[in-house]
Amino acid sequence: MSAVAIVDLCKAYGQVKALDHVTLDVSEGEFFGLLGPSGSGKTTLLRAIAGFVEPDAGEIRIDRAPVVDIPVHRRSIGMVFQSYALFPHLSVFDNVAFGLEVRGMRREEVRSSVLEMLALVRLEGFEGRRPRELSGGQQQRVALARALVTRPRVLLLDEPLGALDKRLRQEMQIELKQIQREVGITTLFVTHDQEEALTLSDRIAIIDEGRIVQVGPPMEVYERPATVFAAGFLGDANLFSGEVEGMADGFGLLRLAEGSLLRAPGLAGQGRATVAVRPEKLRLIDRSETAPADVNRLDGRVLRWIYSGNSISYRIEAANQELIVFEQNRDRTPLPAGTDISLVWAPEHSHPVAP
């Protein structure tokens, strides 16, 4: 059953289409990521679900009930903002209790619910502190407890970890996923961080210029991007364009402009096509090394390399373009600029993408 259903949703600001006929289903208990660059429409979509943005057209349903005309406080939504939006003059307890007190809940019930939520987010003993006395990660947990304490049907997270440093963000990703699983609440979160989307999401929707480009599980979207934009935005990708020249051994043959012939699945007939290859799928070998006959191979030259600790990122000139290759930092000394090499990869790692 769909906990949240978006049907043909539109929103424009002047000539800019923030949401352009967006249709999306989010399942009960799903952790759903909305990923896209700044200005893509992902936050507008989240705020429309919450009720802060009124769409120009389309439907929003929560548990099958239309909510476009329902005010924010009656949509059974919990929301965590990037800034956390905690009340600085209130204690942790009172911040979390605020939504319950507004609803007129009895004090003893408020106390029980608040303490339960603080235990869930591992902040027992912090009831009397003010937000300024907390770390960024602790403030994020208070904001999460405040959003969950009213027992909403849907949790919305707008760049919830964007204000944290990288190490704390990675730690909080694990905690956030664990808490969401414990509560079992349907969750939509907005991010522009590709790694965060892959780590947290059960499914991802990639959004660009107000349109849904691709929806699917993280591995599927990463391994089989649908478009050039999806391939380039979710991670790095090498793109090869050329003319399709028939089939061989179940693979389409793609002739590049400089004459190289690549094999890739999903290519048929004639015409122009583009395939994407992830940098970690490519392997560097010596020019003199014999490679299996069933792999793609391009001769190239090292332009430069970047040391990243656990990996080496190479920039390689091959097929009249600059390519990216990721190599695990094992025991090989990085190849110096100017080294002649060959790139090899399995044909099935060349995935056709639409323009």
The model's pLDDT over 15-58, given as tens digits with 9 standing for 90+, comes to 999 999 999 999 999 999 999 999 999 999 999 999 999 999 99
Token pair in block for residue 342: 């060959």
Residue type at position 154: V
* CB of 255 closer than 8 Å to CB of 235: no
Rounded to whole angstroms, what are the CA distances from 208 to 18, 35, 38, 212, 213? 9, 9, 9, 7, 7
Residues 106 and 169 in one domain: yes
Residues 123-136, mean pLDDT to the nearest whole number: 94
- Counting the structural domains of the chain, the total is 2
Residues 44 and 157 in one domain: yes
Predicted local confidence at residue 136, as pLDDT = 87
Strand-pairing partners, residue 338, are none
Sign of the torsion angle spanned by Cα atoms 142, 143, 146, 152: negative
CATH number of the domain where residue 291 is located: 2.40.50.100
pLDDT band at 1 (very low <50, low <70, confident <90, very high): low
Tracing tokens 């970690």 back to the chain, one arrives at 280
Residues 166 and 313 in one domain: no
Residues 301-321, mean pLDDT to the nearest whole number: 96
User: Given a cut of 80, is residue 2 above it in pLDDT?
Assistant: no
Q: Is 53 left (phi over 0), alpha (psi -120 to 50) or beta?
A: beta
Residue type at position 192: H
Summary mean pLDDT of the chain: 93
Question: pTM for this one?
Answer: 0.92
Predicted local confidence at residue 111, as pLDDT = 94
Residues 84 and 151 in one domain: yes
Task: Pick the last residue of a domain from 201, 232, 263.
Answer: 232
pLDDT band at 269 (very low <50, low <70, confident <90, very high): confident
Residues 95 and 217 in one domain: yes
Residues 328-354, mean pLDDT to the nearest whole number: 94
* pLDDT tens digits along 169-219: 888 888 899 999 999 999 999 998 898 999 999 999 999 999 999 999 999
Predicted local confidence at residue 169, as pLDDT = 84
> Could you tell me the residue range of the domain that residue 279 belongs to?
236-353
Predicted local confidence at residue 322, as pLDDT = 98
User: Given a cut of 90, is residue 166 above it in pLDDT?
Assistant: no
Residues 98 and 152 in one domain: yes
* pLDDT tens digits along 242-261: 999 989 888 999 999 999 99
Q: What is d(CA 239, CA 230) in angstroms, rounded to the nearest whole number?
A: 12
* CB of 177 closer than 8 Å to CB of 7: no
Residues 63 and 160 in one domain: yes
CATH number of the domain where residue 178 is located: 3.40.50.300
